[in-house]
């Protein structure tokens, strides 16, 4: 298994020049706050139209937590937006396996689409109440253990210095 290069940067995920950008979506797929709202605003009305189409066809009940689905990226500098719904700790969704599934399924989907590079946010670390250090460790472990042929770069794009520090710690080599 070839492991992609992993990096963590402080920045705006909507400006990343990668093949796929991951959206920390809500199950409706119709936009929200935080990363989700920023991606919808930057992508323009075509993104919500794509998401509405998914809701009318494949996902009438919304996107389940931990799953991932792709749309066109429209006005973003990427080719695809991969939407995933993170677990909401405030709603009792505290299983790290559910959080890991978001990263694993997003990476697997990116690979199946032919993406060579992907930008991921800290899914569930915002309004959904997960601890930054836990999200970082779960995300890094999930990405490192997921086979994603063709994906050469995984970039975690974080919106705060606290999250960046957590991801840099999780990415640091361990002394075994």
Q: Catalytic residue numbers?
A: 36
Radius of gyration over alpha carbons of the chain, in Å? Answer: 15
Give the count of alpha carbons within 13 A of 53, CB side only: 10
Residue with tokens 């993406």: 115
Return d(Cα 20, Cα 36) in angstroms, integer. Answer: 15
CA distance 3 to 154: 10
């Amino acid at each position: 298994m070839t492991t992609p290069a992993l990096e963590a940067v402080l920045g705006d995920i909507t400006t990343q020049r990668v093949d796929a950008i991951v959206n920390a979506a809500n199950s409706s797929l119709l936009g929200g706050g935080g990363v989700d709202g920023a991606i919808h605003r930057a992508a323009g009305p075509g993104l919500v139209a794509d998401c509405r189409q998914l809701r009318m066809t494949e996902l009438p009940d919304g996107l389940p937590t931990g799953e991932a689905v792709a749309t066109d990226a429209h006005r973003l500098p990427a080719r695809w937006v991969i939407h995933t719904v993170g677990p909401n700790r405030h709603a009792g969704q505290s299983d790290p396996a559910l959080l890991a599934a978001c990263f694993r399924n997003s990476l697997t989907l990116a690979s199946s689409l032919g993406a060579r590079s992907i930008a991921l946010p800290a899914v569930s670390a915002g309004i959904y109440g997960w601890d930054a250090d836990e999200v970082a460790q779960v995300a890094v472990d999930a990405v490192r253990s997921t086979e994603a042929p063709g994906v050469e770069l995984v970039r975690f794009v974080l919106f705060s210095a606290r999250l960046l520090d957590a991801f840099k710690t999780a990415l640091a080599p361990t002394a075994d």
